[in-house]
Amino acid sequence: MGEFRMPSLGADMEEGKLVQWKVQPGDAVKRGDIIAIVHTEKAEIEVEVFESGIVDRLLVQPGALVPVGTVLAILRTDEKGATAVTPAVAPPPKPAGEARPRISPLARKMAAELGVDLSAVQGTGAHGAIEKSDIEHAASLQRAKLAPPLAQPLAVAPSPPSSAEAYQGMRRAIAAAMARSNREIPHYYLETQIDMSVPLRWLEAANQQRPVQQGLLPVVLLLKAVAHALGEVPELNGYWKDDRNEPQKDVHIGFAISLRQGGLIVPALLDAGRKSLDELMAAMADLIQRTRAGRLRSSEITDGTITVTNLGDRGVETVYGVIYPPQVALVGFGRITERPWADKGVLGVRPVLTATLAGDHRATDGRRGAQFLESLTRWLQQPEKL
């Protein structure tokens, strides 16, 4: 048996509202399928399931606001489990002579509060003992008889909050994450200037060969170069957890996307290191559009291993970022501007980008951070290899 719980969709999330079930009891699901929509303070998120199996029971009704970790549904994850709870199989007879059901004090208290008739509850614990989850199940069955059926979740789904409320919620979520970051993470900052003439020339030539729909933006080169540089300095790609740095193998770049109505969301471009420039551009376009439409997946919210923020469009030259915990680094890009540039004794004018690294000093030191920026610069000078 597997439990599907309210996921934590970010360092700042304490509770979430179940908006809609995408599955019904009896449906087969596989790892990665979207089975529910959850409303957080930041957005509505399509939540993926971590295990494959059969949906056995839905324990929470759409519209319910529950803490992170609450069991939302039970999955049958293997054949043995499946037969044990298939309704067609008769329940084992109760041991003769048992005057009262075995039940934990917590379950008894819950049953009283929820008005569940204990004689009608089949325990699934040891020796048929009634557990908390059995009471929850029984209570949800009782509610289901009264409430509209789960098959019509939209009928009971709450109306979306007004944009002002949504914005306040988003500000609170950002406030919680950023305050935690400044409280816990000793940041160090490094900054470097990158001559962008070679990559921009390469990009211009590449875009001339392409229809406008397949055009590449400079930021795609930057994202890919970040992924390559993280391959050389993997300590910056991961999480600070339990007082130690845990670098991650896959590079999922959290990409800060600002919303027109205000606020920002940082969903991850999954597997950025393995994508070609074209794939990365398509993935970014898809991610931006889904972020603005409020249709993100839970893995995109939770799996970012580093954050990139690009404020170049806003006329800003240098970005000193605040790390998104539990990540250990943030890369900031400013605007590409023409600047005087001395090279081999000759002064010229070049398009110059200021790249910054905000690093968690618990996880890495300035030297490794500097190696990252060096590597980033080197990769950008070989755009054909990106």
Q: Does residue number 213 form part of the binding site for other proteins (CB under 8 A)?
A: yes
Q: Does residue number 277 form part of the binding site for other proteins (CB under 8 A)?
A: no
Q: Does residue number 313 form part of the binding site for other proteins (CB under 8 A)?
A: yes
Q: Does residue number 162 form part of the binding site for other proteins (CB under 8 A)?
A: no
Q: Does residue number 61 form part of the binding site for other proteins (CB under 8 A)?
A: no
Closer to other proteins by CB, 141 or 216: give it: 216
Closer to other proteins by CB, 88 or 212: give it: 212
Of 79, 117, 204, 243, the one binding other proteins by CB under 8 A: 204
Q: Do the beta carbons of residue 86 and residue 25 sit within 8 Å?
A: no
Which stretch in 92-100, 118-126, 204-212, 231-239 sits in contact with other proteins by CB under 8 A? 204-212
Q: Does residue number 212 form part of the binding site for other proteins (CB under 8 A)?
A: yes
Q: Does residue number 267 form part of the binding site for other proteins (CB under 8 A)?
A: no
Give CA–CA dist 237/363, Å, rounded.
Answer: 10
Closer to other proteins by CB, 151 or 212: give it: 212
Q: Does residue number 119 form part of the binding site for other proteins (CB under 8 A)?
A: no
Cβ count within 10 A of residue 310: 21
Question: CB of 20: closest distance to other proteins in angstroms?
Answer: 25
Please list every residue from 314 through 333 that binds other proteins, using CB under 8 A. Answer: 314
Of 89, 106, 155, 285, the one binding other proteins by CB under 8 A: 285
Q: Does residue number 207 form part of the binding site for other proteins (CB under 8 A)?
A: yes
Of 62, 128, 238, 312, the one binding other proteins by CB under 8 A: 312
Q: Does residue number 197 form part of the binding site for other proteins (CB under 8 A)?
A: no
Question: CB of 222: closest distance to other proteins in angstroms?
Answer: 12
Closer to other proteins by CB, 82 or 259: give it: 259
Of 30, 80, 249, 260, the one binding other proteins by CB under 8 A: 260
- Interface mask toward other proteins for 78-117; x: CB under 8 A: ----------------------------------------
Site residues for other proteins per CB under 8 A: 204, 207-208, 212-213, 215, 217-219, 258, 260-261, 284-285, 288, 312-314
